[in-house]
Amino acid sequence: MRLISLGLRNVYQHDDLTLNLEFGTTGITGINGAGKSNMVDGALYFAITGKTCEGTNKSDMLNWHASTGHTELLFSHDADIYKLVRNLHNSTAKLTCPDDSEFKPRTNKEANEFVEDALGMSFAMFYESCWVPQGTLTSILTMSHSQRMSFFQRLADTRKAETIRGVLQDSLNNLPNYIDRSTDIENLAEGIRLLEDEIIPQSQKAIDDYTGSKGEYDKLMGTVEVTVKTKSEVDYNTGVNTALNDLSDAQETVATFKSVNNLEEDKTHVPPISTEEEMAKDRYTKYLRYKEDYDKANKQIQELAVPEEVEVDEGLSQAASKARLRVQKGQETYKMAKDQVCPTCRRAFEFEGGEEERGQIIASFEKELAEHKDLQKRDDKNREEVMTYANAQDKYRTRKKDLDIDLAAAEEQMVKYEGHGHDPEVYITRTNECKEYTDWLKRLREKQDKLRTLELAVTRAEVNLKTAKEQVYVTAEDAEAAKEFKESYEELVECLQRAGNTHAAAKARLDANKTQHATYVEEQELRAKIHSASILLKRAREVLHRDQLPKLVMRKMLYGLNALLDNYLGLFTTPFTAFINEDFDFMVSFAGTDPKPAKVLSGGQKVALSIAFRFAISDLNSSSVPLLVLDEPTNHLDEENVQKVGEVLDKAREMTEDGVIVLIATHEESLHPHFTRVVNVDDLTA
């Protein structure tokens, strides 16, 4: 992967800036606040990885007066040129290949995966290998051992290993636990041997013996069954005597029933009530019902009261009307006398006769008013009584009309059913005679049915007696012998059944033992495999421990790293050699001296060793993307050490111009002669 150029649009202080990324050492200069560090540290790293440096976010990178901003990275890979645009105002990215029409544009995750694949390492490892933040050039030599180990852990990118280690631990925790079944397997094997060699053959032999004996018994069992089912002589005699007694009892019961019940009695036939008689009775019933309705309506007419007539009192009505007119006429004068105010002009008013006349007017009006109220009350009551009489008269006429209709209807029906031809006394007599005859006939039939039942019992007793006498029987000796033979046969069958059950149970137990034996053998094999897997997982977990993995990874790299470190120190013509031991401590040796910790070096020597280490790490880990970024490497260095940095850069220039991009942000003008080129941030344009 070869970086070509970096474009910034509204990123940090830069509205529109393009930096060409060329081989050699490029010094990035500018006044304080011009955005040197932001460009080579934060912006370049974001353009490549989409990640921000520690302590910043994308909103910090966006130009304060802009709402949108992005980076544009141009790079080549496998002979194709790609353009990667990353937005600051949202979380989108787009990777395109302008020269390849078949290349499908990739966004976000796909773009990151493509870039990581091109880098040949993770973004985190890329940062640790290629970036030296401001003020940290020599910190690798001066930091504590634990801090240096943490650096190498990040350099080795052991985060995934920690995840794998967690998975391994989960796998260890989830491994099934099988108990040792060796003793159970031996016991089951012995049980299987006993079943196959002894118990099952013995039960099979018993079955064969019992089956042979049963065959001999089966030949005689048919005759024995007949003998067993045949009655004995004692049972035969008992059966005959019982049948004789049953016949005698049945015959005696018939004779007794006939003597007690007179079945020859006869009675004169009484015909049932005819249809004509029933119809006459129905007409008679309807006649009585309508006669009752007629009498009821006639009685209600007789009891109906005629309302007492009330007429309107015209004289009273006229008197009340005249009194009302007098009150209306005198009301204005009365109000004037009462209020002593003229109703027209609303001024005080006095009568000619004074208070006496005023009092007479008031008394006279109030008398006429009382008389008017009395007359009006009596007139209202008279009118109310007249209205009540009118309502009562209407109700009377309506009720009288309804009763007259009911009376006429009842009378019409009475005439219709008057010739009913029904005599109640004769009908009752006929009904009683019919019931008496019917009851007698029912009792007679019940006696006849009972007699037939008793005679049928006699017939059955005669048949039973005949059957009992025709039965075949055997002697007591033959019956006893057959019984003993059958009992022996049943005992033999029971023994055969028990032997069969024992044999089946033994075979079932054999199958179960074999199945259990196979299961235990399989569990035992799994137990051995799980034990081996557990040992391997534990070893792998130990290897992947965060305190061990960087050592294992870096120890493998130490030979190449130390060789590169020695090569760069030789290039820089330092008076010492250096190497990193297996504990990841920097050791140095001067001519003819034993190795000592790097802390014995002077400031300038530490600068040379630190730059050599950074070049070595960059060469070793990022050969696919040769890049080294130094942000203010002379920060906090004295003039002598700044001069040493310049000397080292002079000696590294030819090597970097052959294929390494080194970007150095600095405000030290004394370093300018040592760079391949110098770029002032203020002079950069798109």
Domain identity same for 660 and 527? no
Quick check: is 412 in a domain?
yes
> Does one domain contain both 297 and 214?
no
Domain final residue pick, 494, 511, 535: 535
Residue 647, domain member (yes or no) = yes
Question: What is the distance between the terminal CA atoms of the chain, rounded to a whole angstrom?
Answer: 23
User: Does 335 reside within a domain?
Assistant: yes
Instruction: Tell me 348's DSSP state.
Output: B
Q: Look at residue 94 in the predicted model and tell me its pLDDT.
A: 94
Tell me what pLDDT residue 334 has: 84
Q: Domain containing 87 — which CATH number?
A: 3.40.50.300
Q: Do 412 and 492 sit in the same domain of this protein?
A: no
CA distances from 431 to 444, 458, 475 (A): 20, 41, 72
Task: Dump the DSSP string for 105-151.
Answer: PEEHHHHHHHHHHHHTS-HHHHHHHHEE-TT-SSHHHHS-HHHHHHH
| 288 φ/ψ angles, rounded to the nearest 5 degrees | -65, -40
pLDDT of residue 312: 83
Length of the chain: 686
**Residues with Cβ within 8 Å of residue 203, at least 6 apart in sequence:** 499, 502, 503, 506
Confirm whether 86 is domain-assigned. yes
Domain boundary among 394, 417, 440: 417
**CA distances, 508 to each of 195, 202, 218, 444 (Å):** 10, 15, 30, 77
Answer yes or no: do 206 and 303 share one domain. no
Same domain for 379 and 305, yes or no, is yes
**63 in Cβ contact with 11 (< 8 Å):** yes
Which has the closest alpha carbon to 572: 654, 516, 504, 500?
654
In a domain, 547, yes or no: no
- Clarify whether residues 279 and 407 are in a common domain: yes
Q: Is the same domain home to 214 and 282?
A: no
Domain that holds residue 374: 275-417
Do 224 and 292 lie in one domain? The reply is no
Answer yes or no: pTM beyond 0.85.
no
Let me know whether 223 and 116 are in one domain.
no
Q: Is the dihedral of CA 127, 130, 132, 137 positive or negative?
A: positive
Q: Are residues 215 and 285 in the same domain?
A: no
| Amino acid 557: pLDDT | 73
Predicted local distance difference test score (pLDDT) of residue 553: 65
pLDDT at 273: 84
Q: pLDDT means per 10 residues in the chain (686 residues)?
A: 93 91 93 87 92 87 91 92 93 90 87 90 86 87 86 70 68 80 90 90 88 83 76 81 91 88 76 86 87 90 84 87 88 84 78 84 88 90 89 89 90 83 84 88 88 91 88 77 83 88 91 92 88 79 62 71 88 89 89 89 89 87 80 84 88 86 92 93 75
Q: Is residue 445 part of a domain?
A: no
* 281 and 403 part of one domain: yes
User: At 320, which CATH number?
Assistant: 1.10.287
Residue 411 located in a structural domain: yes
**Residue 248 located in a structural domain:** no
Do 288 and 400 lie in one domain? The reply is yes
Tally of domains in the chain: 3
Give, for 96, the enclosing helix (H) or strand (E): strand 93-96
End of a domain among 491, 516, 535?
A: 535
Q: Which residues are CB-neighbours of 13 under 8 A, at least 6 positions away? A: 33, 34, 35, 38, 63
Helix, strand, or coil here: 673? Answer: helix
